[in-house]
Amino acid sequence: MTLGIDLSGKRAFVAGVADDGGFGFAIAKALAEAGASVCVGTWPPAMNIFETLLRRGKLDASRQLADGTKLEFERILPLDAEYDVFEDASEELRQSKRYRDRGDFSIAGAAARLVEDFGSPCVDIVVHSLANGPEVKNALLETSRHGYLAAVGASAYSFVSLVQRFGPIMRPGGSFLCLSYLAAERVVPGYGGGMSSAKAALESDMRLLAFEAGRKWGHRVNAISAGPYASRAASAIGGIQTMVDYYHQNAARAELLRAEDVGHSAAFLASPLADAITGTTLHVDHGYHAMAAPPSILG
C-alpha cells in the first residue's frame, strides 16, 4: 500500500505571505505540490513589491515545483490581520497610499472576497502565518501595555478571528493551522515585547478552537512549533543566526531546519492522513524541544 499526500481539489488560504523566504511561502508551495490550489493574504504595504517580484520573474526559481510547473497563486488578497472588519481601520489608514487602492483588507474582507469569487463553501485549508510585535526587541520588563497588547492582537487573536470568519465558509473536514515557537513554553531571551506571551496564547487558543470548531463545523485545528529559521522577517528580531546555530548544536539531530521541513509537515496536517489529529502542537525542530541538557555535557 502506497501512502501519499493528495490535496487535489482542495483550496488553501495562507495568511501572511509577502516573499519567498519564510514558512508561509514554503507551506503554500508544499500544499501546491500536493495538488491544492493556493490563495494568499499579503500585508498591503508589502503587496506592491511582492506582485512586482512575481511579475518580473524574480521568484521563478523559488516557485519551481517537482513536476516542472511553477507555483501559481489563485488569488493574492490584501490582508492586515489587525482588523477583523473594514470599519475597524481608521479613515486615515484606509486613505493612506499603500492601502487606499486595495479595497477591504480586513480578515472578514478576505473571507468575503473568496466567497464572492468561488461561492460558499469554498475553502478547505487555512494557514495562519502571521506574527508582529512592535516592541519585540524589548525585554518584557521594558514592554509597554500598548506593545504587549499589540503583539497578542496581531499574533494570537488574529488566529481566533480567522477561525471565526473562515470556519463557516470551509468545506466539511476543514483544516486550520497556526505557526508557533518554543518561546510559548520556555524562556527564549531576546524574544520580548509580549511575543512569548502571544505564542503561549496562540497555542492555548488553538486547543480551545479545536474543540469549538470541531464540534461546530467538524474542522480540525493544529499548530506547528518550528525551530528558528533566518527568514527576512525573523532577521529583524536580531540574534537569529546565533539562535539557529545554537539549535543546530543542541538539537537531538544536528541538522539545520529548512523552510520546506515546515511546509511538508503542514501539508501532512492538512491532509486526510492526519484526519484524527486536532488540538495538537507539532514540534518541527529536529528534536530540540525534547532536550533538557546540551550534548556538550558528555564532553
3-state secondary structure of 111: helix
Characterize 232-256 residue by residue with b for buried, 16 or more Cβ atoms within 10 angstroms of its Cβ, and e for exposed. Answer: ebbeebeebeebbeebbebbeeeeb
Number of domains, the chain: 1
Residue 91 C-alpha cell reads as 479613515
Q: Is residue 27 within 8 Å of residue 262, measured between CB atoms?
A: yes
Q: Which residue shows C-alpha cell 501512502? A: 3
The answer to whether residue 29 is domain-embedded is yes
Residue 2 has pLDDT above 60, yes or no: no
Q: At what angle do helices 158-166 and 107-118 cross, to 10 degrees?
A: 30
Whether the ω angle into residue 121 lies within 30 degrees of 0, i.e. cis, is yes
The answer to whether residue 46 is domain-embedded is yes
Residue 123 has pLDDT above 90, yes or no: yes
- At residue 134, φ and ψ (nearest 5 deg) are -60, -20
List 83, 99, 181, 229, catalytic entry: 181
Q: Is residue 204 within 8 Å of residue 159, measured between CB atoms?
A: no
Question: What pLDDT is recorded for position 231?
Answer: 66
Q: What is the chain's mean pLDDT, rounded?
A: 94
> Over the stretch 198-238, which tens digit does the pLDDT of each residue have?
999 999 999 999 999 999 999 999 999 999 887 666 666 66
Our answer to whether residue 229 is catalytic in this structure is: no
Question: What pLDDT is recorded for position 238?
Answer: 62
Dihedral sign for Cα 150, 151, 156, 161, please: positive
The answer to whether residue 121 is domain-embedded is yes
The rounded percent of the chain whose pLDDT value lies above 90 is: 89
Our answer to whether residue 181 is catalytic in this structure is: yes
The answer to whether residue 228 is domain-embedded is yes
List 83, 191, 229, 247, catalytic entry: 191
Residue range(s) defining the domain that contains residue 113 = 11-287
Q: Is residue 155 within 8 Å of residue 196, measured between CB atoms?
A: no
Q: Is residue 110 within 8 Å of residue 79, measured between CB atoms?
A: yes
> Over the stretch 251-282, which tens digit does the pLDDT of each residue have?
999 999 999 999 999 999 999 999 999 999 99
What global pTM score does this model have? 0.95
Question: What pLDDT is recorded for position 228?
Answer: 86
